[in-house]
Amino acid sequence: MNDLVIDTIKENYQQMFSAEKKVADFILQHPEQTVSSNVSELAELSGVSDATVIRMCKHLGYQGFYQMKLNLARDLGQHQLVGYCGDQDNPDTAKAILQGIARNLLNTASKLDMNVILVCAKMIRESEMVRLRLEIRVRSLLTWDSGLAVWGFVPAAHWCRNIF
C-alpha cells in the first residue's frame, strides 16, 4: 500500500460505518495529533471504542492502527520536508523540492534571534555536560546522527554500537 493515508481515507469514506467515519473525520482534521496518539487516545478523541479504530484501519487495508499511524507519520514528514500540502502543490522535480527546502530554511532563519542563540551557545560551551532530548522522525535519524558528529557530538546510538 503506497497511497497517502489521507487519500485512502477520503477514497473509502463513503463505505465506512458511521462510527468509523468519526475516526476518519478526526484523522482528517487532526493528522498530527493522530500520529502522537495511541489507539485508546484516538478512540477517546473520536468518541468511539478502541475496536472501532482498529476495524477502520483494517477496512482501509492496513494491518492495524500502528501500520496506519506509521504511514501517516511518513506522509506528514514528507510534506513537512518540502513545505507543501495537497496534490496541486506537490513538487515533481528535484529543483522544486530543493526550492521548497530553501524556502523553509529561509523562513526558519528569519525567525531566529541571534542574541538568544549566542546566549545558548555560551551556556553550552561553558557547561561540563549537555544533554539533548530530540524528537526525530526515523527517516531523519541517520542524517541527524551524522550531522551531530560534524559538530563534535557523539550520539547515543554511536555509544550503543560500540558497546556490543
Query: Which domains are assigned to the chain?
Result: 5-82 (1.10.10.10), 112-163 (no CATH)
Q: Helix (H, G, I), strand (E, B), or coil: what is residue 162?
A: helix
Give me the pLDDT at residue 160, please: 43
Closest CA to 35 of 90, 82, 78: 78
Give me the pLDDT at residue 102, please: 80
Give me the pLDDT at residue 108, please: 80
Give me the pLDDT at residue 152, please: 53
Q: How far is it, in rounded angstroms, from Cα 161 to Cα 67?
A: 27
Nine cell digits for residue 132: 539533548
Q: What is the mean pLDDT of each run of 10 residues along the chain (164 residues)?
A: 84 95 95 90 96 96 92 76 50 72 80 88 86 56 48 49 40
- Looking at the chain, the number of H-run helices and the number of E-run strands are 10, 0
Give me the pLDDT at residue 142, please: 44
Model confidence, pTM: 0.53
Q: How far is it, in rounded angstroms, from Cα 65 to Cα 55?
A: 9
Give me the pLDDT at residue 79, please: 60
Asked if 48 and 19 count as a contact pair (C-beta separation under 8 A), the reply is yes
